[in-house]
Chains A and B, each alone.
Chain A
Amino acid sequence: MLSRSQYYLIAALVVAFGASWFSRSYNPYFLDIALTCGINITLAVSLNLINGYTGQFSLGHAGFMALGAYSASLMTTNFGGTLLPLVGGQSWMLFPLALYVGGLVAAIAGLLVGGPSLRLKGDYLAIVTLGFGEIIRVILQNIDAIGASRGMIGIPSYTNLFWTFGLAAITIYTVWALVNSTYGRGFIAVCDDEVAAEAMGINTTRYKITAFVVGAFFAGLAGGAYAHFKQYIAPQGFGFDKSIEIVVMVILGGMGRMPGVILAAVLLSILPEALRWFAKSDELTHIIRVLFSWLSPENYAVAAAKTKEVFENRMILYAILIIVLMIVRPQGLFTWTGKRKTT
């Protein structure tokens, strides 16, 4: 007998499959945004397991994503030629295998990173994970066989609505089921009070490593999906900025709050497009241009260019969002109760 959450998962997969069946008739621009949404949901939910539920602050999620992206792409580009005929030329049989390999590589990296560094707390852990992320990027940049800093090109386009949203649904289901199981209460115990959890007989290190490995695995899957969506990956794309973007989704949604994080991931995927549209619209930007021309009265054109820059540089917006949220609403934007909800 399936539980209710398993029905939801199957329903989500069926809907994703159905939606993807007609994907040729969708507007490619909106399809693009939808795929980005799906990948970002996977990334944010997997980071939420580490940063939110378990309370370990990781700043290296993009590093795991990079490993998944590169491993999966190496699978499909290098072995695609020999493996594809074996499965009758059906890419839908090869792709999940490649994704899985990418996830596994990322999970192993998560184990390697998590093992030693999870003895650290708070800000130390943040810096060490940041360091690991940077080391992964530097190493990828130095391997000539995978294009070094030029990046990898010619990755087949396998990602579609089914894969991204199916992946997102599986990630949400897994993290949700994990945290709400009897075993999973340990994650929340570690987050709430590590010393007390340890006193109650919870192996805190084990829980932290589990969170890291599972989070890294799904980040790796998301990386693989991302690579086969953009068809081009470069080490620079998986730097600190990318990690921060995922962290902002989790903070915005509220750490350890699943619905908020999903909503935040969707919002932040649409935001750059919305800002671009906003920057193009003359009436809307007029007020800001006037403000800017007070600062440099002689030059309306410069003001216009600067306005455009402000709107296209979403990092400024992210930065202000983070600061204001932390001071005013540390529980996240979409949480109305003070206490964390796990269900």
Chain B
Amino acid sequence: MEYLQQLINGLSLGAIYALIALGYTMVYGVLRFINFAHSDVFMLGAFAGYYLGRELPAGTLGGGLFVLLGAMVICAILGVVIEKLAYRPLRGRSTLTVLITAIGISLLLQNTGQLIFGANPKSFPKLFPQQNFTTTGGLVISSDQITVFVVTLVLLAALHYIVMKTRIGTAMRALSFNPTAASLVGINNDRVISFTFALGSSLAAAGGILYALNYPSIDPLMGTLPGLKAFVAAVLGGIGNIPGAALGGVLIGLIETAVVAAGGSTYRDAVAFAVLILILLLRPAGLLGKFQTEKV
């Protein structure tokens, strides 16, 4: 029973990592760089939820969903703005230049956040109705954990539909396959990139709110560690690979919970990095990724 309980906790943590990891992997797919600022979009999603949640009656299903959608829209807009202002002028420059800019954006969001929201942690409101379900075996599942599972599954299904069935999703896949060829067949690359940022950022916002529901203390630096772990998840699954990111997220969530359950809670933040180093050494393309040789 103890194992099953930890499994459920691990899965709910992993689902959140998966949502964030999808943003990393999609941006990497179209632009081939790691969007360091993604973890801070996640943080801003949680703060958007906090401020929206204060205006609405807490503990109702409708209100909670409204807050979730509101935060997703806010962060989608934010993601597009960041891409337009900071990354678009750097199109075609070296990876290092873009990476350094992304670190700059991340620092800017964190520190402006500290200035505006204050550095002290805030307690996140209970957006959804609260109830604990106990099964016959003594398993405890909170309603917030169920929310995490349901929201994640719905979002993953929606993402799958968008990427696989719609025109813009096809364009995204074409762009990540070959940007030059994509623009030759009439795809507006800039628009697709903007859309990818909007999609990734809204998923990060959803992840931020779900994270804050389960760990209801939010502060402007909260994004760093979940963000890094989600990045590890994306690499673990094979960066650029959407199902891989979801799988990696769940695995990282499970591994982290297992380490904590085994008594290594002070090392929980180092575990993800150890996994990253191992995966990069043993299978750099990730679990589901294809290995590519460098062409000159």
Interface residues of A (CB under 8 A from B): 55, 57, 59, 116-117, 119-120, 122-124, 126-128, 130-132, 134-135, 138-139, 141-142, 195, 240, 244, 247, 251, 306, 309-310, 313, 315-316, 318-323, 326-327, 330
Interface string of B75-114 (1 = CB under 8 A from A): 0000000000010011001011111110111111011101
Given the complex of chains A and B, what is the CA–CA distance between A123 and B105 in angstroms? 16
Residues of B within 8 A of A316 (CB): 107-108, 111-112, 115
Interface string of B98-134 (1 = CB under 8 A from A): 1111011111101110110000000000000000000
Task: Give the shortest distance, in Å, between B272 (CB) and chain A (any CB).
Answer: 8
B153 close to A (CB within 8 Å) = no
Q: Which of A119, A120, A127, A323 contacts B231 (CB 8 A)?
A: A127
Given the complex of chains A and B, what is the CA–CA distance between A57 and B99 in angstroms? 10
The dominant DSSP class at the A interface is helix
B41 close to A (CB within 8 Å) = no
B270 close to A (CB within 8 Å) = yes
Cβ-defined contact, B114 with A323, below 8 A: no
Cβ-defined contact, A244 with B34, below 8 A: no
B190 close to A (CB within 8 Å) = no
B2 close to A (CB within 8 Å) = no
Cβ-defined contact, A120 with B284, below 8 A: yes
Which of B115, B270, B284 has most A Cβ within 10 Å? B270
Cβ-defined contact, A132 with B33, below 8 A: no
17 examples of A-B residue contacts, CB within 8 angstroms:
A55-B96, A57-B96, A116-B281, A124-B284, A126-B99, A127-B34, A127-B228, A127-B231, A131-B276, A135-B274, A138-B269, A310-B115, A319-B107, A321-B104, A323-B101, A326-B90, A326-B104
Given the complex of chains A and B, what is the CA–CA distance between A316 and B107 in angstroms? 7
B146 close to A (CB within 8 Å) = no
Cβ-defined contact, A128 with B97, below 8 A: no
Task: Give the shortest distance, in Å, between A202 (CB) and chain B (any CB).
Answer: 15
Given the complex of chains A and B, what is the CA–CA distance between A321 and B100 in angstroms? 11
Given A134-B269, A135-B274, A323-B108, does the pair A120, B280 have CB atoms closer than 8 Å? yes
Additional 12 contacts, C-beta under 8 A, given A131-B276, A327-B90: A57-B100, A124-B235, A128-B276, A128-B277, A132-B277, A138-B270, A240-B224, A313-B114, A316-B108, A316-B111, A318-B104, A322-B107
Cβ-defined contact, A315 with B95, below 8 A: no
Given the complex of chains A and B, what is the CA–CA distance between A270 and B17 in angstroms? 40
Which of B97, B112, B273 has most A Cβ within 10 Å? B273
Given A310-B115, A327-B86, A327-B89, does the pair A128, B280 have CB atoms closer than 8 Å? yes
Nearest-CB residue, chain B, relative to A251: B100
Nearest-CB residue, chain B, relative to A57: B96
Task: Give the shortest distance, in Å, between B195 (CB) and chain A (any CB).
Answer: 22
Cβ-defined contact, A131 with B277, below 8 A: yes
B296 close to A (CB within 8 Å) = yes
Cβ-defined contact, A319 with B101, below 8 A: no
Given A327-B86, A327-B101, does the pair A319, B111 have CB atoms closer than 8 Å? yes
Nearest-CB residue, chain A, relative to B87: A327
Given the complex of chains A and B, what is the CA–CA distance between A251 and B96 in angstroms? 11
Nearest-CB residue, chain A, relative to B284: A120
B266 close to A (CB within 8 Å) = yes
Given A123-B33, A123-B99, A316-B111, does the pair A322, B277 have CB atoms closer than 8 Å? no
Given the complex of chains A and B, what is the CA–CA distance between A128 and B93 in angstroms? 22
Task: Give the shortest distance, in Å, between A114 (CB) and chain B (any CB).
Answer: 13
Cβ-defined contact, A122 with B115, below 8 A: no
B161 close to A (CB within 8 Å) = no
Would you list which residues of chain B between 247 and 264 have a CB under 8 Å from chain A? none
Residues of A within 8 A of B294 (CB): 195
Residues of A within 8 A of B98 (CB): 326
B177 close to A (CB within 8 Å) = no
Task: Give the shortest distance, in Å, between B252 (CB) and chain A (any CB).
Answer: 13
Task: Give the shortest distance, in Å, between A172 (CB) and chain B (any CB).
Answer: 24
Q: Which 9 A-B pairs have the closest CB atoms?
A: A131-B273, A322-B104, A319-B108, A319-B107, A323-B104, A326-B101, A316-B111, A138-B270, A123-B34
Nearest-CB residue, chain B, relative to A241: B107
Given A322-B103, A330-B97, does the pair A134, B111 have CB atoms closer than 8 Å? no
Task: Give the shortest distance, in Å, between B96 (CB) and chain A (any CB).
Answer: 6
Q: Which of A135, A310, A330 contacts B273 (CB 8 A)?
A: A135
Cβ-defined contact, A195 with B114, below 8 A: no
Residues of A within 8 A of B228 (CB): 127, 130-131
Q: Which of A55, A139, A323 contacts B270 (CB 8 A)?
A: A139
Given the complex of chains A and B, what is the CA–CA distance between A116 and B270 in angstroms? 18
